[in-house]
């Protein structure tokens, strides 16, 4: 908690500091993090993390609570010194630079605005401290308030704002200094779901308009998939998966990533001669994976009832254990002959009953084989 408070203080302080060595605006930056390690006593919060952000990209940093997301962001922002590793922004090592000298904007979960200043003064504070003329400050603030859709609220005090409006002020303040990297640490987690959707859309639009390299921390996988072009999954301070939202969902690098993105079936087996064979020998699907022990992962919605007429090339016989109605589909819990559980999401009305038998078809292109993992 100490660091969190420190971060919040920083958000206010950073807005107050002059940004003399920062360009008023600039192209989006490339970020390269290598072998980052952060320890707090006996806890290793970040454990050899590598991260690359392409200029102008929108990346979601995702992972369970305590996996090191906020600590990573704090290092990028200059609020936390790492024990080892490097952080380069456009090939410049920034670890020796204080937060105010980094071309980075930060928005935290809880916006801390100056209560005695109105919205416009809150947003413009950094420019004012940097010695900008009143006219320039006013023009910039007006432009940024328009971008975050707060045109009419410049004269309000923070206590007269809703949570979503406060976060928009915070966003405007972070963007006013035209950062080349925008860091967002669970900025909408305290808002209700509808407003979160709306705010995600706004952040995405601002990113597209301003082209700023964006790193968005969240533990909500739906949010990550919805907003980002690229998702990086952390677990225990390390990157365990990265790719487009579709890649991490359908072709995850690791089982940890596969599991993090919702229910997944895992079948252990062996790859030989370009084919995965389940350990009970009942299933064999083609794969490009290298020979050896492997796990086939397949999402519940990628399973279908095998048609009687056209024999499915890749199907398994299962015992139906449980059928639950889930609104848009049925959740069907089944088991292979050896007891391996297999969950299928089938259309409502499918002919499956608990205690019955079924044949489930797997289409090879929706299966993914992970090499050497059990
Ligand atoms: N200032 C600190 N002092 C001691 N331990 C800390 C400190 N900050 C973080 N930690 C520990 O480091 C680990 C990573 O914390 P971090 O806040 O980076 O995780 P996170 O992924 O952002 O979690 P959450 O989603 O819950 O915010 C945790 O075990 C946490 O308890």
- Regarding whether 6 and 83 lie in a shared domain, the answer is yes
Atom of ligand 1 nearest to the CA of 38: 12
The domain tally of the chain equals: 2
> Alpha-carbon torsion 114, 26, 102, 39, what sign?
positive
ipTM comes to 0.97
Burial class (CB in 10 A: 0-12, 13-18, 19+), 48: middle
Residue 158 bridge partners (DSSP): none
Picking from 127, 121, 369, 163, the residue whose alpha carbon sits closest to that of residue 268 is 369
- Regarding whether 235 and 139 lie in a shared domain, the answer is yes
Domain CATH code at residue 327: 2.40.50.140
- Regarding whether 280 and 182 lie in a shared domain, the answer is no
For residues 204 and 190, what is the distance between their CA atoms, to the nearest angstrom? Answer: 18
Whether the CB-CB separation of 355 and 320 falls below 8 Å is answered with yes
Q: What is the pLDDT of residue 275?
A: 92
Q: What is the pLDDT of residue 84?
A: 97
Whether the CB-CB separation of 304 and 296 falls below 8 Å is answered with no
- Regarding whether 316 and 272 lie in a shared domain, the answer is yes
Domain boundary among 216, 250, 284: 250
- Regarding whether 110 and 34 lie in a shared domain, the answer is yes
Q: What is the pLDDT of residue 15?
A: 45
- Regarding whether 271 and 236 lie in a shared domain, the answer is no
Mutate to test the pocket of ligand 1, among 67, 233, 237, 260 (most ligand atoms within 8 A of CB): 67
213's enclosing H/E stretch is strand 213-218
For residues 187 and 167, what is the distance between their CA atoms, to the nearest angstrom? Answer: 7
For residues 18 and 78, what is the distance between their CA atoms, to the nearest angstrom? Answer: 16
Q: What is the pLDDT of residue 85?
A: 97
**64 C-beta closer than 6 A to ligand 1:** no
Burial class (CB in 10 A: 0-12, 13-18, 19+), 274: exposed
CA of 166 to the centre of ligand 1 (A): 25
pLDDT in tens, 63-82: 888 999 999 999 999 999 99
Residues of the chain with pLDDT under 70: 1-26, 308-313, 373-374
- Regarding whether 268 and 237 lie in a shared domain, the answer is no
- Regarding whether 175 and 289 lie in a shared domain, the answer is no
For residue 308, is it within any domain?
yes
Q: Output the residue whose Cα is nearest ligand 1's atom 24.
A: 65
Rounded (to 5) percent helix, strand, coil in the chain? 30, 30, 35
Q: Output the residue whose Cα is nearest ligand 1's atom 17.
A: 70
Picking from 346, 356, 71, the residue whose alpha carbon sits closest to that of residue 236 is 71
Instruction: Determine the angle formed by the axes of helices 134-147 and 163-176, rounding to 10 degrees.
Output: 130
pLDDT in tens, 111-125: 889 999 999 999 998
How do 341-346 and 330-335 pair as beta strands? antiparallel
Whether the CB-CB separation of 165 and 88 falls below 8 Å is answered with no
Structural domain span for residue 151: 2-250
For residues 276 and 297, what is the distance between their CA atoms, to the nearest angstrom? Answer: 11
- Regarding whether 90 and 182 lie in a shared domain, the answer is yes
């Amino acid at each position: 908690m100490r660091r969190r408070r420190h971060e919040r203080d920083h958000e206010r302080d950073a807005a107050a500091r002059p940004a003399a060595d920062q360009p008023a605006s600039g192209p989006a930056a490339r970020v390269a993090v290598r072998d980052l390690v952060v320890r707090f006593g006996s806890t290793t919060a970040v454990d050899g993390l590598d991260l690359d952000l392409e200029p102008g990209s929108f990346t979601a940093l995702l992972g369970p609570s305590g996996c090191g997301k906020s600590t990573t962001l704090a290092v990028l922002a200059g609020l936390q010194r790492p024990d080892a590793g490097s952080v380069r922004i456009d090939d410049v090592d920034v670890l020796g630079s204080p937060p105010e000298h980094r071309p980075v904007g930060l928005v935290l979960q809880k916006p801390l605005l100056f209560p005695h200043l109105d919205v416009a003064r809150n947003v413009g504070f950094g420019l004012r401290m940097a010695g900008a003329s009143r006219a320039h400050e006013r023009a910039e603030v007006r432009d940024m308030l328009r971008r975050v859709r707060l045109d009419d609220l410049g004269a309000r005090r923070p206590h007269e704002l809703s949570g979503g409006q406060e976060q928009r002020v915070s966003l405007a303040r972070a963007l006013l200094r035209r950062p080349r990297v925008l860091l967002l640490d669970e900025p909408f987690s305290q808002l209700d779901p509808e407003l979160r959707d709306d705010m995600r859309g706004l952040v995405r639009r601002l990113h597209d308009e301003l082209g700023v390299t964006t790193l968005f921390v969240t533990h909500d996988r739906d949010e990550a998939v919805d907003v980002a072009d690229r998702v990086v999954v952390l677990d225990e301070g390390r990157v365990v998966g990265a790719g487009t939202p579709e890649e991490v969902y359908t072709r995850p690098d690791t089982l940890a990533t596969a599991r993090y993105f919702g229910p997944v079936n895992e079948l252990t087996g062996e790859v030989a001669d370009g084919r995965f064979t389940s350990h009970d020998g009942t299933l064999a699907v083609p794969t490009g994976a290298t020979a050896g022990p492997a796990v086939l992962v397949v999402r519940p919605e990628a399973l279908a009832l095998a048609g009687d007429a056209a024999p499915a090339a890749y199907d398994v016989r299962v015992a139906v254990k449980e059928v639950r109605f889930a609104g848009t589909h049925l959740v069907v819990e089944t088991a292979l002959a050896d007891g391996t559980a297999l969950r299928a999401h089938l259309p409502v009305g499918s002919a499956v009953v608990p205690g019955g038998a079924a044949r489930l078809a797997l289409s090879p292109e929706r299966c993914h084989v992970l090499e050497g993992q059990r």
